[in-house]
């Protein structure tokens, strides 16, 4: 049964997913209608990942009703060859309203090829949805339908440059797991749709249910939207310079070691000025900024696994609790304690 959209309330500062709007609870007995708009050639995990999150939430007490719709109401076949049945056409007058519209991705969307009727269905359903979200290349459908004009968005890292070039009014974040701009959400590649869906469940039903869902699906952790799609070492091209390559490996292997400019330059047998030039050329950052980024990621992992701020600061080389707090606020916009709270139950 379709439901009347709820009204948003202000997020609680420092709460888990504090950057997400906390939606008002659904009226007693009402259910939030979630519609997945699938289409011929959609990527299977883009469809099933979010649906598993919302169906698990419903099974565990969340008030969700789930439908899979297609542009013309016909059954479709995904990229994996799996056939999915449709609950109806996306352009139908019913439901008169829905809570969440989800749009999956497909490689052909990144090439500007949209299945017949898809964009009309996106516009029709989004006009009646409380919020609209895309998974991976589904952002291209939202953008082509005109929903993302002048907004922030993200997509799979392979396609962020294409999305930005094709839709110059967009502000594309090439690194985020997911991005929210008012009631529009876009997420990165494939599994990021699960992260986004967990965040949406938490916004609706609170952190306890979201963490129960994460445990049920054996998801190690709920990644916040601003977290990078890749770790610092993984997204840094391997430098051709032997000494610099060795330094990057040392920093990744032991973030807590002495990685001051003087120490790095001595180990590399280079002057500080020369080493700084090499870092800028090959990593796009100064040595200090690169080390801070690696230590921040290490600190995130320690906190997610339940370590205290004091232990985390010491084991990552950040130093003091206050230094850790400043780094988290500057780079992530949350305190270490708020970040740790996000994972307190999912990692048990």
Segment 18-39 mean pLDDT: 68
Confidence of residue 9 (pLDDT cuts 50, 70, 90): very low
User: DSSP class of residue 83?
Assistant: E
Position 175 pLDDT exceeds 80: no
Segment 292-321 mean pLDDT: 89
Structure tokens at 70: 């297609």
CATH 3.40.50.880 domain range(s) in the chain: 8-216
Give long-range contacts, CB 8 A cutoff, 24+ apart: 238-247.
Answer: 239/278, 239/282, 239/283, 241/278, 241/282, 243/268, 243/269, 243/270, 243/278, 244/268, 244/275, 244/278, 244/279, 244/282
| Collapsed DSSP state (helix, strand, coil) of residue 312 | helix
Mark whether 136 is an active-site residue.
yes
Q: Are 196 and 133 in contact (CB under 8 A)?
A: yes
d(CA 293, CA 252) in angstroms, rounded, equals 10
CATH 1.10.10.60 domain range(s) in the chain: 232-342
Structure tokens at 43: 């990527």
pLDDT value of residue 232: 54
Q: Are 35 and 54 in contact (CB under 8 A)?
A: no
Top pLDDT among 48 and 211 is at 48
Top pLDDT among 295 and 232 is at 295
Among the options 136, 139, 232, 275, which is catalytic? Answer: 136
Confidence of residue 4 (pLDDT cuts 50, 70, 90): very low
Position 6 pLDDT exceeds 80: no
CATH among 1.10.10.60, 1.10.150.20, 1.40.20.10, 1.10.630.10 for 232-342: 1.10.10.60
Confidence of residue 29 (pLDDT cuts 50, 70, 90): low
Q: Are 9 and 23 in contact (CB under 8 A)?
A: yes
pLDDT value of residue 267: 93
Residue 287 parent element (H or E): helix 287-304
Lowest mean pLDDT among 37-41, 310-314, 341-345: 341-345
Alpha carbon distances (Å) from 80 to 38, 40, 103, 112: 13, 11, 17, 21
Segment 34-58 mean pLDDT: 97
pLDDT value of residue 157: 85
273: exposed, middle or buried (C-beta count within 10 Å: 0-12, 13-18, 19+)?
exposed
Top pLDDT among 197 and 346 is at 197
Position 30 pLDDT exceeds 90: no
Structure tokens at 111: 């090439």
Q: Rounded to the nearest 10 degrees, how much is the dihedral formed by the CA atoms of 11, 186, 197, 157?
A: -120
User: Can you state the angle between helices 242-253 and 272-283, rounded to 10 degrees?
Assistant: 80
Segment 125-152 mean pLDDT: 97
Confidence of residue 344 (pLDDT cuts 50, 70, 90): low
Position 24 pLDDT exceeds 60: no
Confidence of residue 47 (pLDDT cuts 50, 70, 90): very high
For the structural domain made of 8-216, what CATH number should be given? 3.40.50.880
> pLDDT digit string (tens) for 69-107?
999 999 999 999 999 999 999 988 888 899 999 999 999
Which residues, other chains included, contact 23 with Cβ-Cβ below 8 Å and sequence gap of 6+?
A: 6, 7, 8, 9, 130, 203, 204
> pLDDT digit string (tens) for 260-272?
999 999 999 999 9
């Amino acid at each position: 049964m379709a439901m009347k959209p709820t009204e948003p309330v202000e997020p609680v500062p420092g709460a888990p997913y504090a950057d997400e709007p906390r939606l008002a609870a659904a009226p007693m007995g009402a259910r939030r209608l979630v519609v997945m708009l699938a289409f011929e050639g959609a990527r299977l995990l883009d469809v099933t990942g979010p649906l598993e999150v919302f169906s698990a939430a419903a099974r565990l007490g969340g008030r969700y009703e789930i439908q899979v719709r297609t542009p013309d109401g016909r059954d479709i076949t995904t990229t994996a060859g799996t056939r999915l049945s449709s609950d109806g056409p996306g352009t139908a007058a019913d439901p008169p309203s829905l809570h969440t519209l989800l749009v999956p991705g497909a490689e052909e969307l990144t090439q500007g090829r949209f299945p017949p009727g898809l964009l009309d269905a996106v516009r029709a359903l989004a006009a009646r949805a409380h919020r609209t979200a895309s998974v991976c290349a589904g952002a291209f459908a939202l953008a082509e339908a005109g929903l993302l004009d002048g907004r922030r968005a993200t997509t799979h890292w392979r396609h962020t440059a294409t999305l930005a070039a094709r839709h110059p009014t967009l502000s594309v974040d090439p690194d985020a797991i997911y991005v929210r701009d008012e009631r529009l959400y876009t997420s990165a590649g494939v599994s990021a749709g699960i992260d986004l869906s967990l965040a949406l469940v938490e916004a609706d039903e609170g952190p306890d249910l979201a963490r129960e869902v994460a445990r049920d699906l054996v998801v190690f952790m709920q990644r916040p939207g601003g977290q990078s799609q890749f770790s610092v070492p993984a997204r840094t091209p391997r430098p051709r310079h032997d000494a610099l390559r060795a330094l990057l490996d040392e920093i990744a292997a032991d973030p807590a070691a002495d990685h001051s400019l003087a120490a790095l330059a001595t180990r590399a047998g280079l002057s500080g000025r020369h080493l700084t030039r090499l870092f800028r050329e090959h990593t796009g950052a100064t040595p200090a900024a690169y080390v801070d980024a690696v230590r921040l990621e290490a600190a995130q992992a320690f906190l997610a696994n339940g370590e205290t701020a004091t232990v985390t600061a010491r084991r990552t080389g950040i130093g003091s609790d206050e230094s850790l707090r400043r780094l988290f606020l500057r780079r992530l916009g949350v305190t270490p304690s708020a970040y740790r709270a996000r994972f307190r139950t999912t990692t048990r």
